Amino acid sequence: MITIIFESLVAFVADALFAVLLQSPKRSIFHIGLTGAAGWFVFLIGMQFFNKVVATLLASLTIALLSQYFARILKTPTTIYFLPAFFPLVPGEGIYRAVFAFIDGDYSTATVYLNGALLVSGSIAVAIFLVDSIFNLQARLKVISLSKK
């Protein structure tokens, strides 16, 4: 458990510094770090119970929800929170290994790594789509209910 907390703190610092590098608004940097740390925490807990794809989906849902929440509270775009917070979850290693295996001529290994990277990337995309759709639906329902009054 200490390792999970330590890694979450490191994710907080890494995401906050990545936000500085991307020139995010200064008032959002703490929230960006918090979003990334929460996502990484959920990912590490999820890895103890599920496979990498499901753990990434749960972490991505957490990041997407927090991004939408902070964007509404601080009146900023959600992408300010998405980009740095998803940084630790992006399957760069899997893509690197797939390309390396393709170059090396080991097509079966390359296919395995590419398949894993695509599944993880897909789970990130599905989480963003689900949360964004839910928030858009909620906003539309709010407009409809206000127009009926």
Domain ranges (residues) in the chain:
2-148
Q: What is the mean pLDDT of residues 9-37?
A: 94
Question: Would you say 132 and 65 are in contact if contact means Cβ atoms under 8 Å apart?
Answer: no
pLDDT category at 140 given cuts 50, 70, 90 is confident
pLDDT of residue 141: 82
Q: How far is the CA of 74 from the CAs of 27, 78, 81, 87, in angstroms?
A: 8, 10, 11, 21
Whole-number Å distance between alpha carbons of 51 and 8: 19
Q: What is the mean pLDDT of residues 80-108?
A: 90
DSSP-assigned letter for residue 90: S
List the Cα angle 18/19/25 in 5-degree steps: 165
pLDDT category at 149 given cuts 50, 70, 90 is low
At 68, which amino acid appears?
A: Q
pLDDT of residue 148: 73
Its pTM stands at: 0.88
Question: Would you say 92 and 40 are in contact if contact means Cβ atoms under 8 Å apart?
Answer: no
Q: Is the pLDDT score of 45 beyond 80? A: yes
Q: Is the pLDDT score of 46 beyond 70? A: yes
pLDDT of residue 90: 87
Tens of pLDDT, residues 115-132: 999 999 999 999 999 999
Whole-number Å distance between alpha carbons of 38 and 9: 9
